[in-house]
Structure 1
């Protein structure tokens, strides 16, 4: 099957590609990242781990873009057989599709848990999951251009309200909670890299979206912007949460970011308590991750079997629902997320590099201009 015959409605700009990466990354992870990093490192120096992880992800993202630009107009599901052969490519593609499906299910389950706990107390998880899935279906059926345009609306709103809420929390910020610097040495900082890497999953969507870009030459810029913005957001979040609650306070809370925003109120403003507003905004981000992974999985199936994508979009709904309902409680949901987060580190950190080296050695694909 040749490259995608993208019409104008199926193409995205460089900024839209960057926004898709950002929205994918800024999912459920930011609500739990301070806790998972503190649990792993036992130190307030975990903000350094985020910077190191950011550099690692930038390198991994560069490899993915370099690979995709050799096969312009094709997704990873289409060009991989040219590198590895049909059957190996089929197996790897199935793993990638399974990953996207599971991440989609995980995000929507976390969204249901958070919504049920803070906003719709007593509402069954299945009711919340099904509602958001049908709304997501309506968006996905419009294609990648519709998805990208909605994300362009969601992202600025999210960033504005998130930064306002975080900066207002500076009134309870205590810099002493971040001291002493490297008091336990460099080892805890290195231990904090792994959980932060798991929160940076999202750059792998460029394996799909690069094929839809109007100007693939600028894919590197899209990838860089898509990674740098979440790194800055995560860095601010971890510093403010630990500074406001201390590492002991962070470690004891399931959703430390939300608890930080709940711990203060500003008299005289239209919204005196920001946690409900921030939660509604962040549900849109989780919704973004759910929809883009649902679309990527459906597109993968359609390109493997060379069929129209729409039937696969519908077919994925019950699969995602069943996976989302497998965890019995929030702890099992976190275990599921951690398991596939670990898979992503090797799947998208190692395989694209191997594919790139093989394509160069065998002179597969066109050398990017």
Structure 2
């Protein structure tokens, strides 16, 4: 069924950039550095490969079932009731993802800016704006993101150049001093996030020109990978082996620049980048959850579900962890990478394999 809401190829590219890049840049460098040390930047290569495969799978499924989300076409591939179970699992995964992102937002703001502000206030203020955006529709979110994504880039690039002024290239040596195994182990973290291109399963039906899907998706992948690379290199050259001991390494290096350079309190720019990106990420997540529930249980309009989903998001974000810093760190280190790889990559790959087999069987039967 054709939707009245439409996004352009450029909007889709920027939407995926805003959805994936800021979390990857601000959160995971420390996780990668804990395993690969000075070779963290080499993890970009396997990340780029898996990201490209992930996009290829989602594009192929979308091309075979034009105008349908993954919730809808899974019923054509595996049958009605197995698809209902899959949809319920995906809804659970998206809710969990929503809670974690809002929780990360709380921690970031509490760490940098509003140390004594109650968690529920930080979560609620952002969630209300996200709720309004989702109610306006995915087209409104995409249009808003056009400006926010460009503003993020304008704020981020000068910070990267300032980081270079404090860099020491010697900290990149020795290259692969511990072999290639730590590089592959550390690549699990960026791969877990880059496979969030799985979100295309809900966004591609809204693309106004489906022929631009591949160009927009791969361009977004290239920008994210390039930005991660040029963020990791200065980070390692500034902090060296200390990188893995920092919760938000990029934030720490920005604070360091602010003390040593001509400008003070540059972390305010990091907060601006984070908040704008979290707004888009959470808005898209709430949209996906609402759309998934609507299509799974055949309600008239996903907008009827937006407010309850938003309320649950706020409640979940402040109760998902008892000890924020310890439990969130453990979750990001050990839990999220494994189930993200399964959900974002293995599940759509299995759907594609089953669909390919069934098509081949039907063709052979005729």
Match status 1:279 vs 2:271: yes
- 2:246 pairs with 1:256: no
Is the Cα contact below 8 Å between 1:28 and 1:110 reproduced in 2?
A: no
Give the alignment partner of residue 23 of structure 1, picking from 15, 18, 23: 18
Within 2, Cα distance between the matches of 1:92 and 1:347?
A: 10
- Residues 69-108 of structure 1 show CA distances to partners (whole Å, capped at 9, x for unaligned) of 1111111111110100011111111121222222122111
Task: Give the equivalent residue in structure 2 for 1:319.
Answer: 312
CA distance in 2, matches of 1:66, 1:168: 42
Indicate the residue corresponding to 1:61 in structure 2.
55
Provide the residue aligned with 1:291 in structure 2. Answer: 283
| Residue 161 (structure 2) aligns with | 167
* Counterpart in the other structure of 1:190: 184
1:68 to partner: Cα distance: 1.0
Aligned pair in 2 of structure 1 residues 47, 267: CA closer, same or farther (>3 Å)? closer
Q: Any conservation in 2 of the 1:23–1:285 contact (CA below 8 Å)?
A: yes
| CA contact 1:18–1:222 (8 Å) conserved in 2 | yes
Shift in Å at residue 358 of structure 1?
A: 2.0
Give the deviation of 1:171 after TM superposition: 1.3
**Match among 356, 360, 369 for residue 356 of structure 2:** 360
Q: Could you tell me how far 1:235 is from its partner in structure 2?
A: 0.9
TM-aligned CA deviation for residue 268 of structure 1 = 9.3
Q: CA RMSD in A?
A: 1.9
Query: What is the alpha-carbon distance in structure 1 between the residues aligned to residue 34 and residue 164 of structure 2?
Result: 23
Conserved in 2, the CA contact under 8 Å of 1:169 and 1:244? yes
Decide which structure has greater helix share: 2
Q: Give the match for residue 113 of structure 2.
A: 119
Flag structure 2 segments of 5+ consecutive residues without an equivalent: 361-366
Determine the C-alpha separation between the residues in 1 that align with 2:172 and 2:112.
29
> Which of 212, 215, 225 is the matching residue for 2:219?
225
Cα drift, residue 266 of structure 1: 8.3
Query: Contact between 2:22 and 2:273, CA under 8 Å: does it hold in 1?
Result: no
Tell me how far apart the structure 1 counterparts of residues 227 and 94 of structure 2 sit (CA, whole Å).
24
Q: Secondary structure at the match of 1:104?
A: helix
Does residue 302 of the first structure (1) align with residue 299 of the second (2)?
Answer: no
Distance 1:267 1:45 in 2: 26
- Which 5+ residue runs of structure 1 have no aligned equivalent? 365-369
Shift of 1:149: 0.7
Match of 2:76 among 77, 82, 97: 82
TM-score (normalised: structure 2): 0.93
User: Residues 297-349 of structure 1: CA distance to partner in whole angstroms, max 9, x if unpaired?
Assistant: 11000011121111211121232123212212122123344523421211121
